[in-house]
């Protein structure tokens, strides 16, 4: 081994002084005749071009950010104690130390590259207005009561009453009008203030403050669904100011995604800007997020639905504080990594218990599979989406690190008791979600060509994105028909990847006869994070009988472990976590993994998709950091160790 | 004198006096404060109609207008009776609202003055760290993977370093060392950009190296690197013109907080505060305005 390296180094040094092909044997016969190495050397100089950017038009590093952050402008965030607004949220994202709503000093380990402050369009800025005693509100006895509760330190109780009222449609009228009609002066001036905060923080090339909001539809018939979407604009403040955000209450808005898409189309027509939407928390929709038949309307989705969904919603957020939306163990019994930060008690407010038949229509992997089936029936795949992660934090703090987790809401900021609080409780159904179940996740990684609003938006539209549960690992994923094993040795895998294939989020079609589909997969650990356990390719397809199938392949594993003939490595990577001290060591796992993987079961006649999941070695969960810091012991049911991960957007193959 | 003219408190007092006079003029023709008499003036009726029109995009019908005026009178009656009964006392919402109105007044005053360049320059120098432009580096790096070299890492690194220095600036080092999924060559990259890809310690270490020779090893989150810096742009405090908007924003914010506090402290002087069971309240500490850059 040592010798090989020395030889390689020696050869490389020698080659510095010589034309590049001089040492090679002449290239064999071909149609162009014999190539004269010396002549060729002149055309392909040995020296790299002076400008390092010459010949590069692909993104060289992923940008990390959060597309889903709430501040006090979100009603539920405010009622749960958030006192920080969009300006504070952006300062924190840029790496500044700030003081949290509970008076704790807090800072990110390193700045984010971009941030979208996405407050709920419903009830937008009502909280600051309610807390400040907006006279119009105080005339209403219910609002008055809520204001008193909040001023009396019962923010959480107020929140529960408010969410219940919102779900039951019994919010006080004045609040409904002021919080749901974006044309009201109070609403509009707050919306413009939020835009201005981003405009002031936006520094093209260094930090991007995206513009947008969250449309929070809880439509769902008898119980609250969860059809939430983040809406993101491509352009600048000038166009965003022309938009009155879409809300969910009639007559100003609507809870039907079809109406959101109409709103998006109208916005584009009016401003000539562009806009996209990102769905999230399908896992709390009780089967309503990725329907084939909408359970609450009883209608089968049609071609128009599929076309619009495909057009307006290129991405899905699959990891965040309220659990994982990738895959469920009941749907993927052969995937032992699927049981990760799962929330399957019920819907958003656990007013309705989860039933097994709902799962298929709320997790991303099954939706991607059903999308293949629907494409055959409708001619369009409504669920051809890429993947990102986000925090959905309601503290104005985009904290997704286990060691630096500031909770879902301000009342869940670090304290010795936060883990045992109820996140949600329904005594009638005896359903409960504990606060320790909240997940310190996640971030969006975007392969944008530069750090600007437009470039990030464009990368999102082409689905060149991946989700992480918090760590900033680098993941490359290219698919094509010409990758060969040697490509994994390339110094610049991206160059080979873009030349020979399509990146994550892309499409492949018409496989050349006799060739299988192959992928160049590369993952690099977070420079300040944990090593990697394994890299997996997850394949979904529609079989000959029109049935959906899935399979997990381990394609690279650390520590010289064996991948068996069935494509799986059954040896766990091990565990170095010292739970009482909340530490681990990088003595197992690998820093970097690159491989070319060819699908051994590829059938060019079948529709399929492939995405990559990168798994880190075990590290302490935020509950372990809490236990250590506060010197507390949590019961056995509380997990102390996790294996964080990244999920890429799929590459689709269509015959 | 100039100084005094700029004092927020003076502005407040002047503005307050002006408001008082204007208020008096405006209010007087309105509902008179004489007990038992309510007069709704033409001007107020017009105002009620205009507010309606702004919301509904049409003027009110006569019936609607009559209803609005009736409602206005009802509000006035209740208002006066409530004040007479002292219902405004001990009401947190009303108290908070009034406090907020006072703060709005002092904030408005702070917002009046347009800062001069001298003021902004002074502010910028006092908060230099918030505006400093980061150092940038144009460099190449060759990586050695500790997993691959194990106990020979140091020796292999030194050997490679010697060879690289022999080859010098012209060396195409892009194929040397071990492969790593970060770029070999970086062009005018800022320390934060470098830090996000290699880890902060690497970025810090980079500033200590001399350009124009292969140096190292320096550590990153991945292993060790040999580095050739071809160009270094020092960090600097930019000219005001480059960052005027940001400085102005921060200056205004600081000024607003300062004005609020000064205003409050002046008002506080008129009171002796006694809290039973506690020490007398000291002068509140000045809030520290933090620049937002």
* pLDDT tens-place string over residues B107-159: 776 666 788 889 899 999 898 888 888 899 999 999 999 988 989 999 999 99
For testing contact with chain A, the best of B137, B181, B184 (most A CBs within 10 A): B181
- What was the pLDDT predicted at A34? 52
User: Contact at 8 Å (CB) between A346 and A322?
Assistant: no
pLDDT tens sequence across A285-305: 999 999 999 877 788 999 999
* Helix (H), strand (E) at residue A68: strand A63-69
Residue A4: pLDDT band with limits 50, 70, 90:
very low
Residue A29: pLDDT band with limits 50, 70, 90:
very low
Coil/strand/helix, residue A145: helix
Is the pLDDT at A41 greater than 80? The verdict is: no
- What was the pLDDT predicted at A241? 95
User: Contact at 8 Å (CB) between A471 and A530?
Assistant: yes
Q: What percent of chain A has pLDDT over 90?
A: 76
- What was the pLDDT predicted at A179? 87
pLDDT tens sequence across A460-503: 999 999 999 999 999 999 999 999 999 998 888 898 999 999 99
CB contact under 8 A, B185 and A48: yes
User: Contact at 8 Å (CB) between B262 and B107?
Assistant: no
| B249 closest CB neighbour out of A110, A200, A492 | A200
Mean pLDDT of A510-533: 95
Which class for A633: exposed (0-12), middle (13-18), buried (19 or more C-beta within 10 A)?
exposed
- What was the pLDDT predicted at A54? 57
Q: What percent of chain A has pLDDT over 70?
A: 91
- With beta carbons under 8 A apart, name residues in chain A contacting B171: 16
B252: its two tokens: 């205004």
Mean pLDDT of A304-327: 97
- With beta carbons under 8 A apart, name residues in chain B contacting A476: 181
Any CB–CB contact under 8 A between A500 and chain B? no
Q: What is the pTM of this model?
A: 0.81
CB contact under 8 A, A151 and B199: no
Residues 6+ apart with CB under 8 A from A218: A166, A167, A224, A225, A226, A227, A248, A255, A348
Coil/strand/helix, residue A79: helix
Which class for A29: exposed (0-12), middle (13-18), buried (19 or more C-beta within 10 A)?
exposed
Is the pLDDT at A12 greater than 50? The verdict is: no
Backbone φ and ψ for A84, nearest 5 degrees, come out as -100, 140
- For residues A653 and A381, give the distance between their C-alpha atoms in angstroms, rounded to a whole number: 12
Give B161-220 as a DSSP string. Answer: HHHHHHHGGG--GGGSSB--SS-SEEEEEEHHHHHHHH-HHHHHHHTTSPTTSEEEEEE-
**Higher-confidence position of A440 and B239:** A440
Nearest one of A615, A532, A617, A624 to A578, comparing CA atoms: A624
CB contact under 8 A, B93 and A133: yes
pLDDT tens sequence across A185-236: 889 989 999 999 999 999 999 999 999 999 999 888 778 889 999 999 999 9
Is the pLDDT at A151 greater than 80? The verdict is: no
pLDDT tens sequence across A372-389: 999 999 999 999 999 999
Backbone φ and ψ for A489, nearest 5 degrees, come out as -90, -5
CA contacts within 13 A on the Cβ side of A168:
10
pLDDT tens sequence across A44-65: 445 555 555 555 678 989 999 9
| A46 closest CB neighbour out of B172, B186, B223 | B172
Q: Closest residue of A to B140, CA-based?
A: A52
- What was the pLDDT predicted at A555? 98
CB < 8 Å from B in window 74-93 of A: 87, 91
Nearest one of A418, A299, A289, A286 to A357, comparing CA atoms: A286
CB < 8 Å from B in window 538-557 of A: none
- So what's the architecture of B134-233 in CATH? Roll (3.10)
- With beta carbons under 8 A apart, name residues in chain B contacting A526: 221
Cα–Cα distance list, A122 to A126, A163, A246, A286, A482 (Å): 9, 11, 8, 22, 50
Lowest mean pLDDT of A20-24, A33-37, A189-193, name the range: A20-24
Quick one: chain A helix, strand, coil %, rounded to 5?
Answer: 30, 20, 50
| A110 closest CB neighbour out of B148, B186, B200 | B200
User: Contact at 8 Å (CB) between A387 and A465?
Assistant: yes
Backbone φ and ψ for A521, nearest 5 degrees, come out as -120, 130
- What was the pLDDT predicted at A53? 54
For testing contact with chain B, the best of A1, A3, A4, A5 (most B CBs within 10 A): A5
- What was the pLDDT predicted at A574? 97
Tell me chain B's radius of gyration from C-alpha atoms: 34
CB contact under 8 A, A110 and B180: no
- For residues B125 and B256, give the distance between their C-alpha atoms in angstroms, rounded to a whole number: 19
CB contact under 8 A, A52 and B186: yes
The interaxial angle of helices A257-271 and A303-312, nearest 10 deg, is: 50
**C-beta atoms surrounding A179 within 10 Å:** 30
CB contact under 8 A, A472 and B196: yes
CB contact under 8 A, B182 and A493: no
- What was the pLDDT predicted at B18? 56
Q: Where are the alpha helices (DSSP H) in A274-354?
A: 303-312
- For residues A192 and A195, give the distance between their C-alpha atoms in angstroms, rounded to a whole number: 5
User: Contact at 8 Å (CB) between A414 and A407?
Assistant: yes
**A10 CA to chain B: closest CA distance, Å?**
9
**B275 CA to chain A: closest CA distance, Å?**
21
Work out whether strand A315-320 and strand A386-389 pair parallel, antiparallel, or are unpaired. Answer: parallel
CB contact under 8 A, A16 and B172: yes
A176: its two tokens: 């409904």
- With beta carbons under 8 A apart, name residues in chain B contacting A472: 196
CB < 8 Å from B in window 380-399 of A: none
- With beta carbons under 8 A apart, name residues in chain A contacting B132: none
Is the pLDDT at A79 greater than 90? The verdict is: no
| A2 closest CB neighbour out of B93, B152, B202 | B152
Q: Which residue has the tokens 């709920």?
A: A120
Lowest mean pLDDT of A26-35, A557-566, A606-615, name the range: A26-35
- With beta carbons under 8 A apart, name residues in chain B contacting A493: 181
| A474 closest CB neighbour out of B181, B186, B249 | B181
Mean pLDDT of A59-82: 92
CB contact under 8 A, B160 and A52: no
Any CB–CB contact under 8 A between A587 and chain B? no
Q: What is the mean pLDDT of chain A?
A: 90
A5: its two tokens: 């390296």
- For residues B113 and B16, give the distance between their C-alpha atoms in angstroms, rounded to a whole number: 17
CB contact under 8 A, A16 and B167: yes
- What was the pLDDT predicted at A50? 57
**C-beta atoms surrounding B77 within 10 Å:** 12
User: Contact at 8 Å (CB) between A359 and A327?
Assistant: no
Q: Closest residue of A to B149, CA-based?
A: A2
**B171 CA to chain A: closest CA distance, Å?**
6
CB contact under 8 A, B181 and A472: no
- What was the pLDDT predicted at A254? 93
- For residues A569 and A567, give the distance between their C-alpha atoms in angstroms, rounded to a whole number: 7
Does the interface ipTM go beyond 0.85? Answer: no
Nearest one of B221, B214, B184 to B200, comparing CA atoms: B221
For testing contact with chain A, the best of B74, B93, B185 (most A CBs within 10 A): B93
- For A310-379, strand residue ranges (E) read 315-320, 323-324
Residue A37: pLDDT band with limits 50, 70, 90:
low
Give domain limits for chain A: 2-43, 63-459, 473-654
Lowest mean pLDDT of A577-581, A636-640, B124-128, name the range: B124-128
Q: Which residue has the tokens 């580095």?
A: B227
User: Contact at 8 Å (CB) between A589 and A532?
Assistant: yes
**Start-end of CATH 3.10.50.40 domains in chain B:** 134-233
- What was the pLDDT predicted at A357? 95
Coil/strand/helix, residue B36: coil
- For residues A643 and B11, give the distance between their C-alpha atoms in angstroms, rounded to a whole number: 61
Segments of chain B scoring below 50 in pLDDT: 1-2, 24, 27-32, 281, 283-293
**C-beta atoms surrounding B168 within 10 Å:** 12
Q: How far out from the chain centre does Cα B82 lie?
A: 40
- What was the pLDDT predicted at A48? 56
- With beta carbons under 8 A apart, name residues in chain B contacting A87: 292
Which class for A147: exposed (0-12), middle (13-18), buried (19 or more C-beta within 10 A)?
buried
Residue A250: pLDDT band with limits 50, 70, 90:
confident
- For residues A89 and A96, give the distance between their C-alpha atoms in angstroms, rounded to a whole number: 10
**C-beta atoms surrounding B81 within 10 Å:** 10
Per-residue DSSP letter, A562: P
């Amino acid at each position: 081994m040592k010798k090989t390296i020395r030889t390689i180094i020696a050869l490389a040094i020698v080659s510095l002084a010589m034309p590049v092909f001089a040492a090679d044997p002449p290239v064999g016969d071909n149609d162009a005749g014999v190539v004269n190495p010396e002549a060729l050397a002149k055309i392909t100089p040995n020296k790299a071009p002076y400008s390092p950017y010459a010949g590069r038009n692909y993104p060289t590093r992923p940008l990390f950010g959060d597309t889903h952050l709430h501040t006090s402008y979100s009603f539920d965030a405010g009622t749960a104690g958030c006192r920080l607004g969009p300006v504070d949220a952006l300062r924190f994202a840029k790496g500044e130390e700030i003081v949290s709503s509970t008076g704790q000093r807090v800072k990110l380990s390193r700045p984010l590259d971009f941030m979208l402050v996405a407050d709920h369009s419903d009830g937008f800025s009502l909280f600051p207005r309610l807390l400040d005693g907006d006279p119009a509100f105080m005339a209403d006895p219910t609002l008055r009561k809520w204001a008193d509760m909040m001023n009396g330190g019962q923010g959480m109780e107020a929140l529960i009453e408010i969410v219940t009222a919102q779900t039951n449609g019994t919010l006080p009228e004045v609040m409904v009008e002021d919080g749901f009609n974006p044309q009201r002066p109070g609403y509009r001036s707050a919306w413009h203030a939020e835009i201005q905060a981003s405009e002031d923080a936006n520094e093209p090339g260094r930090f991007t403050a995206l513009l947008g909001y969250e449309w929070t539809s809880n439509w769902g018939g008898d119980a609250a669904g969860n059809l939430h979407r983040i809406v993101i604009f491509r352009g600048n403040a000038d166009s965003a100011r022309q938009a009155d955000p879409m809300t969910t209450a009639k007559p100003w808005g609507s809870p039907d995604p079809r109406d959101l898409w109409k709103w998006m189309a109208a916005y584009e027509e009016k401003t000539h800007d562009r806009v996209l939407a990102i769905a999230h928390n399908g896992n709390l929709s009780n089967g309503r997020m990725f329907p084939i038949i909408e359970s609450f309307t009883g209608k089968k989705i049609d071609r128009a639905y599929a076309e619009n969904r495909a057009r307006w919603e290129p991405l899905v957020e699959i990891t965040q504080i309220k659990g994982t939306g990738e895959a469920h163990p009941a749907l993927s019994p052969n995937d032992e990594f699927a049981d990760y930060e799962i929330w399957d008690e019920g819907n958003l407010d656990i007013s309705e218990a989860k039933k097994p038949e709902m799962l298929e229509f709320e997790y991303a992997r099954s939706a991607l599979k059903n999308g293949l089936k629907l494409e055959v029936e409708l001619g369009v795949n409504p669920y051809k989406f890429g993947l990102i992660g986000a925090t959905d934090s309601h503290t104005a703090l985009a904290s997704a690190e286990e060691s630096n987790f500031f909770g879902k809401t301000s009342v869940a900021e670090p304290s010795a008791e936060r883990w045992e609080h109820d996140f949600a409780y329904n005594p009638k159904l005896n359903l409960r979600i504990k606060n320790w179940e909240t997940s310190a996740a996640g971030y969006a990684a975007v392969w944008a060509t530069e750090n600007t609003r437009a470039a990030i938006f464009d990368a999102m539209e082409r689905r060149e994105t991946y989700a992480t549960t918090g760590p900033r690992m680098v993941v490359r994923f290219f698919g094509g028909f010409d990758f060969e094993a040697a490509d994994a040795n390339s110094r610049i895998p991206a160059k080979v990847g873009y030349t020979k294939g399509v990146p994550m989020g892309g499409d492949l079609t018409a496989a050349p006869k006799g060739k299988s589909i192959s992928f160049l997969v590369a993952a690099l650990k977070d420079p300040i994070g944990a090593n990697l356990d394994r890299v997996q390719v997850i394949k979904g397809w529609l079989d000959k009988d029109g049935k959906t199938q899935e399979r997990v392949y381990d394609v690279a594993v650390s520590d010289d472990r064996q991948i068996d003939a069935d494509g799986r490595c059954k040896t766990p990577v091990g565990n170095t976590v010292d739970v009482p001290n909340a530490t681990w060591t990088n003595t197992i796992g690998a820093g970097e993994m690159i491989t070319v993987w060819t699908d051994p079961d590829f059938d060019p006649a079948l529709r399929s998709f492939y995405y990559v999941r990168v798994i880190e070695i075990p590290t302490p969960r935020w509950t372990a950091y809490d236990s250590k810091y506060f010197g507390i012991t949590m019961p056995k049911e509380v997990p102390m160790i996790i294996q964080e991960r990244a999920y890429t957007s799929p590459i689709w193959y269509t015959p | 004198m100039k100084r005094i003219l700029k004092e927020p408190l003076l502005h407040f007092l002047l503005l307050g006096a002006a408001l008082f006079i204007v208020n008096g003029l405006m209010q007087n023709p309105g509902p008179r404060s004489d007990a038992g008499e309510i007069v709704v003036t033409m001007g107020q009726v017009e105002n009620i109609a205009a507010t309606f029109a702004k919301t509904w995009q049409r003027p009110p019908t006569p019936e609607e207008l009559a209803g609005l005026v009736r409602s206005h009178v009802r509000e006035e009656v209740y208002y006066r009776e409530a004040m007479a009964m002292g219902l405004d006392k001990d009401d947190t919402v009303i108290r908070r609202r009034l406090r907020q109105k006072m703060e709005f007044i002092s904030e408005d005053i702070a917002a009046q003055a347009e800062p001069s360049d001298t003021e902004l320059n002074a502010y910028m120098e006092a908060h230099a760290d918030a505006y400093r432009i980061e150092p940038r580096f144009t460099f190449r790096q060759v990586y050695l993977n500790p997993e691959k070299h194990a106990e020979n890492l140091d020796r292999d690194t030194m050997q490679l370093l010697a060879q690289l220095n022999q080859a010098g600036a012209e060396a195409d080092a892009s194929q040397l060392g071990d492969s790593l999924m970060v770029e070999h060559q970086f062009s005018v990259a800022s320390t934060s950009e470098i830090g996000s890809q290699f880890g902060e310690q690497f970025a810090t270490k980079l500033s200590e190296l001399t350009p124009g020779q292969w140096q190292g090893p320096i550590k990153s989150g991945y292993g060790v690197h040999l580095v050739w810096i071809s160009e270094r742009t020092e960090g600097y405090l930019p000219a005001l013109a480059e960052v005027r908007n940001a400085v102005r924003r921060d200056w205004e914010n600081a000024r607003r907080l300062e004005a609020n506090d000064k205003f409050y402290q002046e008002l506080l002087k008129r009171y002796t505060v006694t809290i039973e069971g506690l020490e007398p309240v000291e002068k509140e500490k000045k809030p520290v305005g933090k620049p937002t850059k």
